[in-house]
Structure 1
Amino acid sequence: MAEKKSMTDRMAAFSDVVNGNIYLQSISQGIMTFLPVIIIGSFASLFSGLPVDFWQNFIQSTGISTLLTALVGATTNMLGLYFTYGVASVFADKKEVHSKIAPILALIVYVTLLPTAVDANGTAVLSFTYMGTQGMILGILVALLTISVYKAIVDAKIVIKMPAGTPEYVSNTFVSLIPGLVIALMALVLRGLFALTPWGNAFDCLYNILQMPLNAIVGENLFTLTIINLLTQVLWFFGIHPGFLSSMTAPIMFGLDGANQAAYAAGQAVPNIIGMAFSYSTTIATVYPAFALALLLFAKSSQLKTVGKISVAPAFFGISEPLIFGAPVVLNPTIVVPWVITPALNFILGYAACAIGIVPRYAGVTVFNFPMIATGILNGSAAIAAMEVVLCVIDLLIFMPFVKMQDKKNLEAEKLAIESEQN
């Protein structure tokens, strides 16, 4: 037991270090700040591309289609810009950069690096292409770099100091002036250097040498994401929150969803099977309810029966804590088997169903804490909703024998406890 405890302690220590990393925290929290924007864009894409003839005729004839397209443009197609500001704001707080202008400087760098084009009328324009998911990785890097440079300049006291008695808002304005000029100059230099590359700009360069390989390795890679699913569940078994894994994969997964939303809204073929919407639907939305239902339906011991009752409603909305700590999952060798297997199995089965064409690819509508069936319908198909139900039933059957095994142990323990009290 001492060796196992030592291993658990080492894993927990590693998790604490990674989860405490301010860069990963800033990325995760900065992205989640704009979750409402993601959801709004998801719904706009869904209603814009819903493949129902009477609906399409209605929105085209009334002009609603144009309005929905505008909303997609203002949300999904600008996620790169929003994530830049979100990550920069959170990172600035964590670096104790108390300046409202610092995150704005990150936006200035981002927009400075944006390539411009000239339309038929000779007007210079910016493309949504680079402000959306294709610019997410660069935006995150810009946010982290901008705040780091700002912090370094201010800490070195290379700032304009105003006389005593100057209003604070005036002093803060001048404190930001030199860091802002330096950062703006750096942005211009970077734009010039990237113009000399074969790609012509920073966005295409980073997208081709970094984001596309990451999509292939982490995003649209069934093997990699199955391993991540397994590792996530194993960490929960040891009582370790796997948040650092989602921090690393979230930018890629949201990017894949964004590409799906844009294609769906435009009436084009959805390019990606995997994304955050697919992942949530095939794992959290189905596994947690299956586990809770297994406890509710098959457990006879007072502990598991109670856990089943209190956890079944939260489980349908993606909340797992009552299950993890009530059943418990943590350090429970009986429950760990279905707990680890079911998400990975669902992921593989869901991927196969989409790849074969049994169900359509997800529209990329990312809605956390929504129950299954609803998540399927919101992603554009009743077939996806039906698949979620099938996956949940499969999971329920997998959990059933293990729940009964654990329940038998609990019943024996409860019986011994009663006998002990009577004696």
Structure 2
Amino acid sequence: MKIINTLEEKLVPIAVWINQNNYINGIRKAFIILMPLLMIGSIFLVISVLPSAVYQDFMYNKFGPSWKRTLEIPINATFSLIAVYVAFLVAQQLGKQFKIDSIAVGLLSLASFLTLTPLKSTTTLGEVITFTWLGSKGLFVAMIIGIVVVKIFKFFVNHNILLRMPDGVPPEVTKSFEALIPGTVILSLALLLRVTMMNTDYGTIHDFIYNILALPLKSLGTSFIGSFLTVLCISLLWSVGINSGSMINGLIRPFWLENQVDNINALKEGLPLPHIITEQFFDLIWMGGAGSTLSLLLAILLFARSNHIRSVGGIGAIPGIFNINEPVLFGLPIILNPIMLIPFNIVPLVMLTTQYVAMSIGLVSKPLGVPFPWPTPALISGFITVGDISGSLMQITNLIVGALIYLPFLRILDKASKYEEDQVKIFQKEQQELE
């Protein structure tokens, strides 16, 4: 219990600060809103690249040689413009957090992002439009712009530096004119920054931020060590009852998302997938939820003898299949239980390691980058993630390994629970005999 108390003392204040931080919450909510749009784009991607020669021939003969290019239109409208959506959504969600005009700051953030983003480049063939920074590579700048725009707009609101309209003017018109002064200042600063960066070696704010800040952070966050620390943080915070998945994921998702888009672009071109670490890589691990408790449910089903533990396993089985494990976490319990917290933290790290090694040496395919809803059951999620049966086989292997790790600790709990149940039965029998 001393370890648990120490974890509570050190981790809870950090988790509370993260949950209450308006900027972190705004960014997290922006990406949550964006996820369904990316899933829609992924549907068209899957239709386009389904790995079946019969299917590909049928589509070619039915719709002609340009059928894939047609499907790329909605794919490009989603994945290739991610930074555009983020520039608006981050500012808009932060505007809601700070109770200022969320639509105005969202549009100003988008306009500032486009002001700072070069949309054209000159080649030997002439002038062509390029969308390099409108996609995943522009995410970091889009988030920073969203935050800065909100802070500047908030400064003008707090100091009442706004253009006021006479009484009787409709509220919508009043709000529009109130944004004139801060909006003019914000776009002027964006233009000034654009011109300034053009006279540096970097050329654009995108090149500067991406090379100085985003690339090192991405390299750390999407490395094996960074992934190991991510999983460890999620498990440790859950150990003291803090729902940490969405919180941690919200911080690192922008870096995963860039890898995800890189893999999708490689998939479209028929090239080898460059990255192992995407958000879907972790979806393969969290089978049953935090702690990969589907492995624990498997061990309970096969080996538990205590009525209490078997009943918890029965109640938690159906939710567990859909990655909801609160019945197990609080019914067994695992949370604040020194015995079960050991495998609860170890199992996901072992799964992470075996899965990373298997993908690194080619035994398991790399994640395609196609997002899917988090309640997707194991085995199905494995197949969707990598696009073939190797993902499902990896999950089966991890399930068995996880169950073997959970088993010794489960038996300790099971024996103690069975002993208590037997003692109750003996007591009840003695009471009946006395009566």
**Does residue 341 of structure 1 match 2:346?**
yes
* Pairing of 1:247-286 with structure 2 (within 5 A): 247-284=250-287
1:46 and 1:378 in contact (8 A); partners too? no
- Counterpart in the other structure of 1:373: 379
- Counterpart in the other structure of 2:22: 22
1:39 and 1:365 in contact (8 A); partners too? yes
Identity of aligned residues (%): 27
Equivalent residue in structure 1 for 2:173, among 170, 176, 185: 170
Equivalent residue in structure 2 for 1:415, among 399, 412, 422: 422
1:80 and 1:139 in contact (8 A); partners too? yes
What count of residue pairs does the alignment treat as equivalent? 421
Q: Quick one: distance in 2 between partners of 1:391 and 1:335?
A: 18
CA RMSD of aligned residues (A): 2.2
- Counterpart in the other structure of 1:138: 141
Change (3 A) 1:196 1:51: farther
**Partner secondary structure for residue 168 of structure 2:** coil
- Counterpart in the other structure of 2:89: 86
1:46 and 1:264 in contact (8 A); partners too? no
Deviations 1:137-187 (A, max 9, x none): 111111111111111111111111011111111111110111111111111
Change (3 A) 1:420 1:5: farther
Aligned amino acid, residue 75 of structure 1? T
Q: Which runs of 5+ in 2 are unaligned?
A: none
- Counterpart in the other structure of 1:32: 32
1:81 and 1:139 in contact (8 A); partners too? yes
Measure how far apart 1:399 and its partner are: 1.7
Q: Which runs of 5+ in 1 are unaligned?
A: none
Measure how far apart 1:189 and its partner are: 1.1
- Counterpart in the other structure of 1:95: 98
* Pairing of 1:317-332 with structure 2 (within 5 A): 317-332=322-337
- Counterpart in the other structure of 2:13: 13
Q: Quick one: distance in 1 between partners of 2:283 and 2:143?
A: 23
Change (3 A) 1:122 1:7: closer
1:44 and 1:72 in contact (8 A); partners too? yes
* Pairing of 1:284-303 with structure 2 (within 5 A): 284=287, 287-303=292-308
Change (3 A) 1:302 1:85: farther
Measure how far apart 1:364 and its partner are: 0.9
Q: Quick one: distance in 2 between partners of 1:322 and 1:201?
A: 51
- Counterpart in the other structure of 1:223: 225
2:287 and 2:378 in contact (8 A); partners too? no
Q: Quick one: distance in 1 between partners of 2:253 and 2:35?
A: 12
Measure how far apart 1:124 and its partner are: 6.1
Measure how far apart 1:418 and its partner are: 4.5
Q: Quick one: distance in 2 between partners of 1:324 and 1:20?
A: 24
Q: Quick one: distance in 1 between partners of 2:354 and 2:399?
A: 12
**Does residue 398 of structure 1 match 2:405?**
yes
Q: With structure 2 as the length reference, what TM-score do the two structures score?
A: 0.91
Q: Quick one: distance in 2 between partners of 1:4 and 1:271?
A: 40
Aligned amino acid, residue 238 of structure 1? V
Which structure ranks higher in relative contact order (CA pairs < 8 Å, sequence separation ≥ 6)? 1
Deviations 1:105-124 (A, max 9, x none): 11111111111325778666
Measure how far apart 1:363 and its partner are: 0.4
Question: Which piece of structure 1 moves more, 5-14 or 399-408?
Answer: 5-14
